[in-house]
Structure 1
Amino acid sequence: MRDVTSTMDDVRHVLANWPLPPEGGWTADDLDLLPQDGPQGELDLFKRVELVDGALVLMSPQKLFHESVIIGLRNALRAQAPERFSAVSQMDIKIASRQRPCPDVLVVDTAATTDWNRTAFTPREVHLVIEVVSPESEHRDNHVKPRIYAEAGIEHFWIVKDEDSRPVIHTYELDEAVASYVCTGIHRDHLKVSVPFPIDIEFDTLH
């Protein structure tokens, strides 16, 4: 196990040229070395950060709609999941050295949740990822992240959009032959699907 001095040296090295990336670019392991606050004392600068195609993405403050849908979906999935599945929110997936996205909600193997010191899951442990679209994340959520998740072999992907402050959920399933997602439905007011396990959600319960 690394000692505290070694860890602090690693953090200083990673942030030595901030805001430029460290030599060789950002890696998935670098995110475990970032403090919550920025190198100049910026409060919560690194509180929510992800690595997408090698670029460090600092996520903006979320709207109440975004937060409510995340919590509502996580709780609904937890209540309905069989024992071998667990639902978590805003945890990273360490996909590759340049890919460490942080989905809004994930369904993972329960066996992968026993270590409370974990900061990320592997794609093999993840069965469903959900992204709740915000204005600043619209392009990433609609185009960039589905490609990353599909190429990683994650079976199911949902994207939640805000239509007049009402959630609309688009569900997708992986076509392994082409490593791409196929839309399986667009759900308003109510969602009922059979994969990755039987799920039945009334959207009124998400607020």
Structure 2
Amino acid sequence: MGGTMTAESVEHRRRHWPVPPVDGYTVDDLFTLPDLPPHTELIDGSLVFVSPQRDFHTIAIDLLVNGLRRTSPPYLKIRREMTVVLDRHNGPEPDICVLRADAVKSRRQTRFEAADVLLAVEVVSPDSEARDRGTKPHKYAAAGIPHFWLVEMAGETDHPAVQVYERGQATGTYSLTGIHHEHVKLTAPYDIDIDLTAIDEF
């Protein structure tokens, strides 16, 4: 019985991921390759697949999206887990982005341009820690996104800690402007007021 293979398992073994082009995938490939898993990202021409997420990841995104929307002005929109096109070979998917409202053209839209994004937020996951801390913020800054947040699970209560970064005009890189453990109260990119301890209500 241990050597018996079902039709489903045979089909699974026959399934092959496409071989990448010599110069890597492009953003167009990201949206046209068939059967890619949900939330696939494109980083430096390589496809990155998302692993199952912790409960913290989901509820931290919910908390921040709710908080950002609560005070957002009408000329801005908040979106979660949408591809942001940085260049031909990079289409990451920030956990949250704040963007210009006029960038939202259709309910069928699948991507936004970096030039329309004011804030990108990444909630750190064990499998994506190196990308969230290094690769993505470097690329977001290089693409001109002015604000970046890195969110981690911290402390004995597993509450979110939000590291806030701002892009320097002269350097083109991010500088840390503050770390928020219980409350995020900021004036940029707009007036933001989020109680991080409210995660216990989710």
**Paired residue for 2:27?**
28
Shift of 1:163: 1.1
Contact 1:105 1:131 in 2 (8 A): yes
| Count of residues in Structure 1 that have an aligned counterpart in Structure 2 | 184
Partner amino acid for 2:72? A
**Paired residue for 1:192?**
185
**Paired residue for 2:167?**
174
Partner amino acid for 1:191? V
Separation (CA, whole Å) in 1 of partners of 2:16 and 2:38:
19
Q: Any idea what the Cα deviations from partners look like across 1:54-78, whole Å, max 9, x if unmatched?
A: 1110010111100001111112111
Shift of 1:19: 4.4
**Paired residue for 1:135?**
126
Contact 2:24 2:44 in 1 (8 A): no
Shift of 1:186: 0.3
**Paired residue for 1:67?**
58
**Aligned-partner SS, 1:136:** helix
- Normalising by the residue count of structure 1, what TM-score does the alignment of the two structures yield? 0.84
Shift of 1:25: 1.9
Partner amino acid for 1:172? Y
Partner amino acid for 1:83? P
Q: What are the ranges of 5 or more consecutive residues in structure 1 without an aligned counterpart?
A: 1-15, 38-44
State yes or no: 1:119 paired with 2:115: no
Contact 1:153 1:176 in 2 (8 A): no
- Misfit runs of 4+, over 6 Å: none
Partner amino acid for 1:134? S
**Paired residue for 1:146?**
137
Separation (CA, whole Å) in 1 of partners of 2:105 and 2:27:
22
Q: Any idea what the Cα deviations from partners look like across 1:121-147, whole Å, max 9, x if unmatched?
A: 111110000000001111101111111
Q: What are the ranges of 5 or more consecutive residues in structure 2 without an aligned counterpart?
A: 1-14
Name the larger-Rg structure: 2
Q: Any idea what the Cα deviations from partners look like across 1:96-123, whole Å, max 9, x if unmatched?
A: 1111000000001111123112111111
Shift of 1:166: 1.1
Separation (CA, whole Å) in 1 of partners of 2:161 and 2:112:
27
